[in-house]
Amino acid sequence: MDEIENRLARRLATLRAEHGWSLDELAQKSAVSRASLSRIEKGDVSPTASVLGKLCVAFGVTLSRLMQMVEEDFVPLVRRADQEVWTDPDTGYRRRLLSPTSKQLSGEVVEVEIEPGQRIAFGGSPRDGLEHHLVMLDGALSMKIDGQTHHLKTGDCLRYQLRGGNTFETGPDQGARYYLFIID
């Protein structure tokens, strides 16, 4: 396990402690099994994007904000070679933090790559009405939000307020790469 995964494991354990929750309480709030939570917090396994999404909803933070909490220092300029990249071990979903995050800044930008033939579902939003702007860079993506499916292609922009779960799905022959602007 690399250093960012170790810091993520420690931060998740700290967040649970800050909320005063036992593993059982967090398991109930997040719909992630107690055993999985324990293994994640110990750094035995790397959490998937789906599991991180569930934990973010339970803790009331965005995934980007969680990753910012894992960062040790804030710097105003981050070169591409130094940007943090996290890869879901199950789906290959890759998330690159493009914009430096800070407790003083409310927006963030991430670059996401999803391989062909993947379906990634997030069960909820860390905050009702969280504003997103998704800009397709390459490929094609079907995204389901609030029961409505949007089919996106290169150059399209989908703007929405996240009020519940959402699903990202790529076709069998084409993946997707996009920027996600999150306004917190």
12-18 long-range contacts (CB < 8 A, ≥24 apart) are: 12/40, 12/41, 12/47, 12/55, 13/41, 15/59, 15/61, 15/66, 15/69, 16/41
pLDDT at 72 over 60: no
**CATH 1.10.260.40 residue spans of the chain:** 3-69
Query: What global pTM score does this model have?
Result: 0.67
Q: Please write the tens of the pLDDT for every residue from 130-175.
A: 899 999 999 999 999 989 999 999 999 999 998 888 999 999 999 9
Q: Note the pLDDT of residue 137.
A: 98
The contacts of residue 152 (CB under 8 Å, 6+ apart) are: 134, 136, 140, 141, 142, 143, 158, 176, 178
Q: Note the pLDDT of residue 103.
A: 60
**Could you tell me the end-to-end alpha-carbon distance of the chain, in angstroms, rounded to an integer?**
30
Confidence grade of residue 108 (pLDDT, cut at 50, 70, 90): confident
**CATH 2.60.120.10 residue spans of the chain:** 75-183
Q: Does domain 75-183 have CATH number 2.40.10.10?
A: no
Q: Does domain 3-69 have CATH number 1.10.260.40?
A: yes
- 95 neighbors 110 (Cβ within 8 angstroms): yes
- 121 neighbors 164 (Cβ within 8 angstroms): no
